[in-house]
A and B are shown apart, each in its own frame.
Chain A
Amino acid sequence: AQTVTQSQPEMSVQEAETVTLSCTYDTSESDYYLFWYKQPPSRQMILVIRQEAYKQQNATENRFSVNFQKAAKSFSLKISDSQLGDAAMYFCAYRSLNSGGSNYKLTFGKGTLLTVNP
């Protein structure tokens, strides 16, 4: 079974600065997807960014980018130019590439609570 580990329960960053959230995972599969979800105080789960393991290029979405190290099974999220609205819980998640066509469930880490200081 796959596991996802987020070793930083809490992080803080100054507004306009850059912060990196860590995520490691364990899997025996060679192809899979990785995701970062943001959960603001409203508790809605919002997809921030995704990475296909077969792609060497790191995914980027505006101020959000990832550092995907497949051999190390590491998938960190970098938030540049942090804004007050970035304050939220961030979850790293894993999904198998192909689950036989019937199931695309996600396995989540425990989350990192990001505080943005003005």
Chain B
Amino acid sequence: EPEVTQTPSHQVTQMGQEVILRCVPISNHLYFYWYRQILGQKVEFLVSFYNNEISEKSEIFDDQFSVERPDGSNFTLKIRSTKLEDSAMYFCASSEPGFLYFGPGTRLTVT
């Protein structure tokens, strides 16, 4: 069964550094998403991406965040200058016009 993959599984970075989280969505999906889960809290929507542009973003998704689909397979989330409060699990998801399939997540730790 096709699945969404994410790399790395765990990323440790220092405050102020840039990080790029990578995702490979399911190949025939057209809609891509990033969600975030701070430890012990609920999963929160960050951004959705369709037709090579952002279709919706949440209040969390400020100017420090950006997304890109650099080629036909990868979907990336960049955090320009990480803060301690960016420490969380980041989930990528993809969908056809329908149901979301989540990747296994990247645990980001900002020290």
Residues of A at under 8 Å CB distance from B?
33, 35, 37, 42-47, 50, 91, 95, 101-111
Please name 18 pairs of A and B residues whose Cβ atoms are closer than 8 Å in the assembled complex, sorted by A: A35-B99, A42-B104, A43-B89, A43-B105, A44-B104, A44-B105, A45-B93, A45-B105, A50-B99, A102-B51, A104-B97, A104-B99, A106-B35, A106-B43, A107-B45, A109-B42, A110-B41, A110-B42
List CB contacts (< 8 Å) of B1-45 with chain A: 31, 33, 35, 37, 41-45
List residues of chain A with CB within 8 A of the CB of B104.
Answer: 42-44
List residues of chain A with CB within 8 A of the CB of B41.
Answer: 110
Q: Interface residues of A: mostly helix, strand, loop or mixed? A: loop
List residues of chain B with CB within 8 A of the CB of A110.
Answer: 41-42
Query: Which residue of chain B has its CB nearest to the CB of A44?
Result: B104
Query: Which residue of chain A has its CB nearest to the CB of B104?
Result: A44
Is the C-beta of B60 less than 8 angstroms from some C-beta in chain A?
no
* CA–CA, A102 and B91, complex, Å: 19
Q: Are B107 and A43 in contact (CB under 8 A)?
A: yes
List residues of chain A with CB within 8 A of the CB of B56.
Answer: 102-103, 105
Q: Are A108 and B43 in contact (CB under 8 A)?
A: yes
Q: Give the number of chain B interface residues (Cβ < 8 Å).
A: 27
Q: Are B31 and A102 in contact (CB under 8 A)?
A: yes
* CA–CA, A46 and B51, complex, Å: 26
List residues of chain A with CB within 8 A of the CB of B48.
Answer: 102-105
Q: Are A103 and B31 in contact (CB under 8 A)?
A: yes
* CA–CA, A103 and B46, complex, Å: 12
List residues of chain B with CB within 8 A of the CB of A50.
Answer: 99
List residues of chain B with CB within 8 A of the CB of A37.
Answer: 102
* CA–CA, A105 and B100, complex, Å: 8
Q: Are B43 and A91 in contact (CB under 8 A)?
A: yes
0/1 string, B65-108, CB within 8 A of A gives 1: 00000000000000000000000010101010111111011010
Query: Which residue of chain A has its CB nearest to the CB of B53?
Result: A102
In the complex, how many angstroms separate the beta carbon of B62 from the nearest chain A beta carbon? 18
Q: Are A106 and B97 in contact (CB under 8 A)?
A: no
Partner of A104 from the list B35, B91, B95, B102 (CB cut-off 8 Å) is B95
